Amino acid sequence: MATINDIPDVILSNIFASISDTRTRNSLSLVSRKFMLLDRATRVSLTLRGNARDLFMIPTCFRSVTDLDLSFLSPWGHSLLSSPFSDTDPQLLAHRLRRAFPAVTSLTVYARSPLTIEILVQQWPGLKRVKLVRWHQRLASWPIGEDFVCLLEQCENLNWLDLSTFYYWTEDLPPVLQACPKVSASLVHLNLLTTSFAEGFKSQEIKEITTACPNLKNILVACNFDPRYIGFVGDETLLAVANNCPKLTLLHLADTSTLTDVRGDPDNDGFTSEDAMVTKGTLVEFFSGLPLLQELVLDVGRNVRDTSMALEMLNSKCKDLRVLKLGQFHGICLANESQLDGIALCSGLEELSIKNCGDLTDMGLIAIGRGCSKLSRFEVQGCKRITEKGLRTMACLLRNTLVKVKISCCKNLDAAASLRSVEPIRDRIQWLHIDCVWNGWEEIGNSEQVGLSFWHNQVEEPSSLFSLMGSEYDHEMRRKKCKYSSDVSDGYILENNGFWCKKWDRLQYLSLWIGVGELLTPLPAAGLLNCPNLEEIRIKVEGDCRGRSKPSERAFGLSSLTLYPRLSKMQLDCSETIGYALTAPSGQMDLSLWERFFLNGIGELRLSELDYWPPQDRDVNHRSLSLPAAALLAECLELRKLFIHGTAHEHFMMFLLKIPNLRDVQLREDYYPAPENDMSTEMRAGSCSRFEAALNRRPILD
C-alpha cells in the first residue's frame, strides 16, 4: 500500500512550496525528519525571534528564505546593530545574518537609527522589497533624508517600500526620490500611510513623489484635506496623482484625523463644519484618469457633497474596481425611485466601506444591496439615519455573498439591533464587528426568551420598504423570505431551559467596541449566545476614566466569554482608555484598579494567544502593566503567546513564568511616541534579556 512517503521528492517539494500558512508548515515539519528537511528547503518566508545578541542561535538551515522579518527581535525597539547592552560587533551580526539567509530579497527591520539600514543594505544589495519600522522619534540632528539615502542608492532593484509604521518627517522622502530617479521609477508599491503623522504629506510633496515615481501601481498616503491648513489636498492634487501615476491599481488617500482608531461622537449628524476642496467635476476627471483601479480609499475627513453623479462614473471608468472605501462622502446614493443611481451602479464591488455619510438612508442601503450584488464585505460607520430595517433588508439581498460586516457608531443601531440586522446571514457570516451599546438590554434579554415567535415577528412580516421598490422586487423578496422561514429549525438550537437560541454557525472572528465602565456580560443576551466556531475576538475599550466613579460590578465580564468553546485568541485593546497612572485624586481609581476590573476573569478562558494593550496616562506618556494585571494574566494557564504593547516592571513580568506552556512573550512599545529612555524601574534591555533567559530555561511539556 502506497503512502505519502512514496511520493517522489520533487512532487513533495512542490506540495510543500505551495503551502504559505506558517502554522500549517510548522505542523508538517513535525511529522517526520523527511518533512522537516523538506520544510527547511522550501520555506521562503521567516520571522526571526529571539535575542539579537545570541549569534549562535541564528538558524542556518533556511537557505531558501527570500522574505525575512527582523522587526520582532528582542529586546523589541532597541537598535539591532548598535545596541548599548551588547558587545557584539554590528558588522559581525550583519555578516552572520547574510550567511544564514543568502537569498533574501524582502526585508522588514526595526530601524531605530540610519546606521541599521546602512549596514543591512550592504549585506543584501539586491533587495526588492523593504519595510521599515520605527515608533521612536526621529532625531532632529539627522540630515534631511538620512534614513533613505543609503537604501535608495545601494538597492537598485528596489520596487516595494512600506513606511506605514516608520516615524520620519514628510520632508525626508521627496528629495531622496528625486535624487535617485532610476530607483524611484522602478517603484511599484509605496505605503506612506504613517499613523504617527500629525499633519501628513502636503500637496506639493505628494506631487513631487508621484512625479518621481510614475510607474507606481499601489500608493497609500496620509495627508490633510482641511482647507484651513497650508498644503491641504484638493482638486489640484487629485488630478496630479491621476496624471502622474496612470497605472495605479490601488490608491489610498486618508486624512490624518481618520487614522486614529477612535470612535466618533454618536450624536454627530455626520457632517463636519468645513467642506473639502474636492468638487464633483474633479472626481469625474480623477476617476477617468485611473482606468486600472482595483481598490480605492478616499477617507477625506471633510464634507464632499453631492457625489452621486461622480460615483456613477466609477462603474464605467474603473471597470476593475473591487474594493471601495469612502469617508465623509455625502449623496452617494439618492435612491429617490426604484432606478439605481450613484454607488449602487458599481456592480463589480466585492468590498464596500461607508464612513460618516450624513444622508445615507435605509432606501440607500437597499439600493446598494440590489446593485452591488457581489459584496462579500460591508462596513458602515457613523451613518446616523440608517436603521435596523434597512440594514436587515440589505443583508437579505446579499445573503449569498456577504460574510464580513462592520457596524459602528450608528445612532440607531445598538448591539442588539446590529445583531438582528444581520440575522438573514447569521448562518453564513464569518467576521463581525459591532459596538457594545446596551440600550435597554434587559428588555432585549427578556425578548430573547420569547422563542421562535420573536424571530417570526422580526422576519416574516412584510416590510413597507419592499413595496416601495416595485411589485416585481416585492415578489422576489417575499419568495426569499418564505425560503428563510422554512429553514427556521436549521438556524436554532433548543437549550436546556426550553427556549430557542440563535446559532452563529460560521462566525470565526468577532470585534467589539465598548465604552469604559460598561460591562461585557449583556453580549449573550443581545443575541450572541451560541457561536460554536468562534476562534478569535478583539475587544477595544475606549473612554476617560478620570472623574468616573468606581464600577458597580467587580469584573468587566471576560468570564462571560466562556460560552464560546473554541475561543483561543484575544486582542484586548485598552490603549484608548485614559486615566491616572501614578496617583489618582481622592475618591477615584488609578489605572491599576481599572486594569484589575478589565482583566478579572480572564483566567477562566482557554486562551492560547493574547495581545494586550494597557491603558495609558497621556500626561506622562505612560503605558505600563500594573501588578494586578500581571497577576491576573498569570492565571491564563494555557497561554503560549503573550504580547504586551507597553512597558512593565521586571518583577511583574516574572509572574508570567507561572504559566506552564508559555513560549513567546514580548513587550512592544508600538505606539507613538515610544519612550526614548525607559525608567530605571521599567523593563530595559538587560531586564528583557534576564526575563527571556528565565523563560527559555523552563522545560515546555509539549
**Region at 270 (left for phi over 0; alpha for psi -120 to 50; beta for the rest):** left
SS3 for 139? Answer: coil
In which residue are the cell numbers 426604484 written? 338
CA–CA dist 92, 84 (Å, integer): 15
Which range, 36-40, 258-262, 328-332, is most confident?
328-332
Do strands 641-644 and 664-667 pair parallel, antiparallel, or not at all (unpaired)? parallel
CA–CA dist 234, 206 (Å, integer): 11
- Average pLDDT rounded to a whole number, residues 37-65: 87
Cβ neighbours of residue 457 under 8 Å, at least 6 residues apart?
Answer: none
Q: What percent of the chain has pLDDT over 70?
A: 88
CA angle, 227 then 232 then 238, to 5°: 110
| Burial class of residue 474 in the structure, from the number of CB atoms within 10 Å of its CB (0-12 exposed, 13-18 middle, 19+ buried) | middle
What integer pLDDT is reported at residue 385 of this predicted model?
94
- Average pLDDT rounded to a whole number, residues 289-312: 95
Residue extents of the structural domains in the chain: 188-430, 509-697
Q: How many residues does the chain have?
A: 702
* pLDDT of 313 strictly over 50: yes
Kindly indicate whether the domain formed by 509-697 is annotated with CATH number 3.80.10: yes
CA–CA dist 513, 520 (Å, integer): 10
* pLDDT of 287 strictly over 80: yes
Partner residues linked to 404 by β-bridges:
377, 431
Beta carbons of 355 and 326 less than 8 angstroms apart: yes
Check residues 482 and 141 and name the one with the higher pLDDT. Answer: 141
Beta carbons of 157 and 128 less than 8 angstroms apart: yes
* Most distant CA atoms of the chain, gap in Å: 80
What integer pLDDT is reported at residue 262 of this predicted model?
74
Residue 261, number of CB atoms within 10 A of its CB = 12
Q: pLDDT confidence of 550, banded at 50, 70, 90?
A: confident
Q: pLDDT confidence of 589, banded at 50, 70, 90?
A: confident
What integer pLDDT is reported at residue 78 of this predicted model?
80
Reported as a single tens digit per residue, the pLDDT across 539-549 is 999 999 998 88
The lowest-confidence range among 248-252, 312-316, 457-461, 577-581 is 457-461
The lowest-confidence range among 271-280, 283-292, 455-464, 606-615 is 455-464
Q: Do domains 188-430 and 509-697 have the same CATH topology?
A: yes
Q: pLDDT confidence of 677, banded at 50, 70, 90?
A: low
CA–CA dist 243, 113 (Å, integer): 36
Percent of the chain as helix, strand, coil, to the nearest 5: 35, 20, 45
- Average pLDDT rounded to a whole number, residues 617-629: 90
| Burial class of residue 575 in the structure, from the number of CB atoms within 10 Å of its CB (0-12 exposed, 13-18 middle, 19+ buried) | buried
What integer pLDDT is reported at residue 83 of this predicted model?
52
Q: Please tell me the pTM assigned to this model.
A: 0.89
What integer pLDDT is reported at residue 329 of this predicted model?
96
CA–CA dist 406, 411 (Å, integer): 14
Nearest CA among 71, 82, 74, 67 for reference residue 52: 74
* pLDDT of 58 strictly over 70: yes
Residue type, 168: Y
Beta carbons of 601 and 552 less than 8 angstroms apart: no
- Average pLDDT rounded to a whole number, residues 59-85: 83
In this structure, what DSSP letter does residue 301 have? Answer: E
* pLDDT of 606 strictly over 90: yes
Reported as a single tens digit per residue, the pLDDT across 429-446 is 999 999 999 986 644 443
* pLDDT of 573 strictly over 80: yes
Q: What percent of the chain has pLDDT over 90?
A: 65
What integer pLDDT is reported at residue 457 of this predicted model?
39
CA torsion sign for 233, 239, 240, 241 is positive
What integer pLDDT is reported at residue 586 of this predicted model?
80
Q: pLDDT confidence of 79, banded at 50, 70, 90?
A: confident
- Average pLDDT rounded to a whole number, residues 136-152: 94
What integer pLDDT is reported at residue 428 of this predicted model?
95
* pLDDT of 65 strictly over 70: yes
CA torsion sign for 32, 34, 37, 38 is negative
What integer pLDDT is reported at residue 514 of this predicted model?
96
- The number of CA neighbours under 13 Å toward the Cβ of 447 is 15
Check residues 248 and 502 and name the one with the higher pLDDT. Answer: 248
SS3 for 307? Answer: coil
- Average pLDDT rounded to a whole number, residues 245-249: 97
Q: pLDDT confidence of 487, banded at 50, 70, 90?
A: very low
Which range, 250-264, 289-303, 673-687, is most confident?
289-303
What integer pLDDT is reported at residue 534 of this predicted model?
97
Q: Which CATH number fits domain 188-430: 3.40.50.150, 3.40.50.80, 3.80.10.10, 3.30.930.10?
A: 3.80.10.10
Reported as a single tens digit per residue, the pLDDT across 554-570 is 899 999 999 999 999 99
In which residue are the cell numbers 474636492 written? 278
What integer pLDDT is reported at residue 340 of this predicted model?
93
Q: C-alpha cell of 124?
A: 543584501
CA–CA dist 273, 256 (Å, integer): 17
* pLDDT of 608 strictly over 70: yes
What integer pLDDT is reported at residue 453 of this predicted model?
33
What integer pLDDT is reported at residue 496 of this predicted model?
43
pLDDT, the chain, mean: 87
Helix (H) or strand (E) segment spanning residue 502: strand 500-502
The lowest-confidence range among 89-103, 324-338, 450-464, 512-526 is 450-464
- Average pLDDT rounded to a whole number, residues 208-224: 97
* pLDDT of 269 strictly over 80: no
Q: pLDDT confidence of 3, banded at 50, 70, 90?
A: confident
